[in-house]
Structure 1
Amino acid sequence: MPPPSSDAQIAPTKSTGTIAPERYIGFAAGLASGATKLIVGHPFDTVKVRLQTDGSSRFRGPLDCLRSTIRREGFRALYKGATPPLFGWALMDSVQMGSLNNFRLWIADPDPLTTLTTRHHALAGLGAGIVVSFVACPVEVLKARLQVQYDAETKLYKGPVDCARQLVRNNGIRGLYKGLSACLLFRSFFWVLWGSYDLYTNAFANSKFMPAVAVPFFAGGCAATTFWAISFPADVMKQRMMTQPDTYPRKYPSLASCIAQTWRGEGWRGFYRGFVPCFLRSFPTNGAAIFVFEGAMRLGKRLVD
């Protein structure tokens, strides 16, 4: 049978005048999920971001980017920009997973035993993606800007705090929300992630060849791969808008201009720069993160019960 948090049944709770445990367990489980995602996926993410923002002129491909980064800057360079997501991804996954869990509960209301369909899970994913965008955008702006500092000549920021200080000084608080429109577009595709996760979960749970404990990992990995295949062009636009220099006029003053310039200058290939490291990263990173999330949800519910 499917894991509890993606199960069709939402456990009933008693009305006691306090917040039901199911409302906040998802936030705690999301913290563990975000930390897992950082450890497993950040080196792949660094290569992806570098290729998305400057890949055509600086690197011949993902392997060249990986080798060049390690040779010139050392292995630690693969974890450049890791400090913002160290806290930010944990916070982002907490908000995303907590919101997802609450949207599922709200959709099931007033009958807590409502059977949620794939369409319901996709709708909950859409809502969670929109909510978390407002938390994710500042984190991703700082992360991406630190990731594309290649050497002393391109180094503008001493660290995440200095990066945030300069962005606010030059642009006001809006500087931390560069690329918000692209971030909203990208994360709205979470309907694909969580809708397909429900489909994969049900398919694997009904298979005689897969143990129940492995279902979250493989369903999460397959769902993430499906999600990235569809949403990747929006992620490229997001990274380009977030990392553009603080000069006027802006290279990409809007999401529409970023799409138009990318199409004119690079064609469809421009929308898929950095896809290979992203594709390689998506299955193990998100499979592990969702596996940890599902396990934490089950543990939390047992402790509460």
Structure 2
Amino acid sequence: MNANGSRFQSFGQTEINWDKLDKAKFYGVGAGLFTGITVALYPVSVVKTRMQVAVKDSAERNALSVIKGLLKNDGVPGLYRGFGTVITGAIPARIIFLTALETTKVGAYKLVEPFKFSEPTQAALANGLAGMTASLFSQAVFVPIDVISQKLMVQGYSGNTRYTGGLDVARKLIKSNGIRGLYKGFGLSVMTYSPSSAVWWASYGASQRVIWRFLGQNSASEKFSPSHSQLISVQAAGGIIAGATASCITTPLDTIKTRLQVMGDKGKTARQIVESLIAEDGWKGFYRGLGPRFFSMSAWGTSMILAYEYLKRLCAKDEQT
């Protein structure tokens, strides 16, 4: 046993730490895996975004009507508006996120270990801190991509401007507002995604331990060695729980952020957007797009975590005897 202590070592039974990964393989294979997941789930983001910016008299007020409208006007490509911009920025943002996540998680476990919390609590705190830190670091890349892609998602919808592509959006934003135009809603993005990431990873880390205990297993035991199918099942369940928890908590901020990024160039402030949401739909207006966001975060979270845990197993260095 090393100086990190038995509790810290025990997490290695179900998790592969950063120092055990082949970094070059991790980044290369990871880029391909997450690109595939983004392709599969991107249409959900488009539907969610259009629902959040719909005006009161819009005909497309639910997910099904938005999908029908997109397919009628643009066919399947309509479900992938802004995809090129997202996939271009997603790779560097993902690299930053995963690097910060894994390196912070190791330090966070060491930080909380002396407090002798229960295993689920320790996992929640360490994973939550790592998720929040990773999100903060990746926002510098993610926010401009988010602003541009969302404008492409809703172009021509509810009176929104049409563009020829991502570069056209960037050029017009910089021309009208300077570089800060690409960071419209940056504060709200940090307030939305950092807590969301913290809640997601905290829920995921803690729920796994709770599920193992429910199944009569002790993941803190050095003898604990789950089968491949058990590991995948518990990780998938943890991803669903984490996505559901995070989506319910952070949807109101996400709705405000999205409308500010898309409609801010019309002179609307965050306060005016809040007032208009309440005037149009009451407090439930803050939960516009909750269904797609709930599905997106649960589906994305489950797919992502299974791919991510598989990626770490695939890229683990051979143990030296």
Normalised-by-shorter TM-score class = 0.7 to 0.9
Question: Would you say the 8 A contact 1:164–1:176 is kept in 2?
Answer: yes
Structure 1 residue 194 and structure 2 residue 201: aligned?
A: yes
CA change 1:238–1:24 in 2 (3 A) is farther
Most deviating of 174-183 and 50-59: 50-59
- How far the C-alpha of 1:69 sits from its partner, in A, is 1.4
- Unmatched 5+ residue regions in structure 2? 1-9, 218-228
**Percent identity of equivalent pairs:** 23
How far apart, CA to CA, are the structure 2 residues paired with 1:64 and 1:159? 25
Q: Give the Å deviation of 1:162.
A: 1.3
Q: What residue is the counterpart of 1:219 in the other structure?
A: 238
Output the CA distance in 1 between the equivalents of 2:99 and 2:49.
27
Are 2:155 and 2:162, in contact at CA under 8 Å, matched by a contact in 1? yes
Q: 1:97 to 1:33 in 2, by over 3 A?
A: farther
How far 1:86 sits from its partner (Å)?
1.2
* 1:81 Cα offset (Å): 0.8
The structure that has the greater radius of gyration is: 2
The structural deviation recorded for 1:228 is 0.7
**C-alpha distance in structure 1 between counterparts of 2:300 and 2:160, whole Å:** 29
Q: Structure 1 residue aligned with 2:249, among 216, 221, 230? A: 230
**AA partner of residue 48 (structure 2):** K
Q: 1:38 aligned to 2:26?
A: no
**In the TM superposition, what are the counterparts of 1:103-122 in structure 2 within 5 Å?**
103-108=104-109, 116-122=122-128
Partner residue of 1:289? 304
> Which one is further off, 118-127 or 106-115?
106-115
Secondary structure at the counterpart of residue 149 of structure 1: coil
Amino acid across the alignment from 2:243:
A
Q: 1:269 aligns with which of 254, 262, 284?
A: 284
Q: Does 1:240 align with 2:241?
A: no
Q: Is the contact between residue 96 and residue 132 of structure 1 (CA under 8 Å) also seen in structure 2? A: yes
Runs of 4+ residues deviating >6 angstroms: 22-26, 110-115
Alpha-carbon distance in structure 2 between the residues aligned to 1:3 and 1:74: 47
State the number of aligned residues. 291
In 2 relative to 1, CA 150–110 (structure 1 residues): closer, same or farther, beyond 3 Å? closer
Residues 237 and 258, structure 1, Cα contact 8 Å, conserved in 2: yes
Q: Kindly provide the CA deviation profile for residues 226-258 of structure 1, in whole angstroms up to 9, marking residues without a partner as x.
A: 1111111111111111101534xx212xx4443
In structure 2, C-alpha distance between the alignment counterparts of 1:49 and 1:84, rounded to whole Å: 16
Q: Is the 8 A contact 2:21 2:317 kept in 1?
A: no
Please, which runs of 5 or more residues in structure 1 have no aligned partner?
14-19
Does the residue aligned with 2:57 lie in a helix, a strand or coil?
Answer: helix
AA paired with 1:104?
K
Quick check: 286-295 or 261-270, which moved more? 261-270
Distance 2:309 2:153 in 1: 30
Shift, 1:196, TM fit? 0.2
Q: Hey, what does 1:61 align to over in structure 2?
A: 62
Aligned CA distance change for structure 1 residues 220 and 32 (closer, same or farther; 3 Å): farther
Note if contact 2:139-2:190 (Cα within 8 Å) is conserved in structure 1.
yes
CA offsets 1:253-272 (integer angstroms, 9 cap, x no match): xx444334433443211101
How far the C-alpha of 1:284 sits from its partner, in A, is 2.1
Verify the 8 A CA contact 2:130 2:198 in the aligned structure 1: yes
Which position in structure 2 is the counterpart of 1:17? none
Which amino acid in the other structure matches residue 302 of structure 1?
Answer: K
Distance 1:157 1:181, change over 3 A: same
Q: Deviations over 1:190-231 (max 9, x none)?
A: 111000001222233443796223332331122112111111
Structure 2 CA distance for aligned equivalents of residues 133 and 258 of structure 1: 22
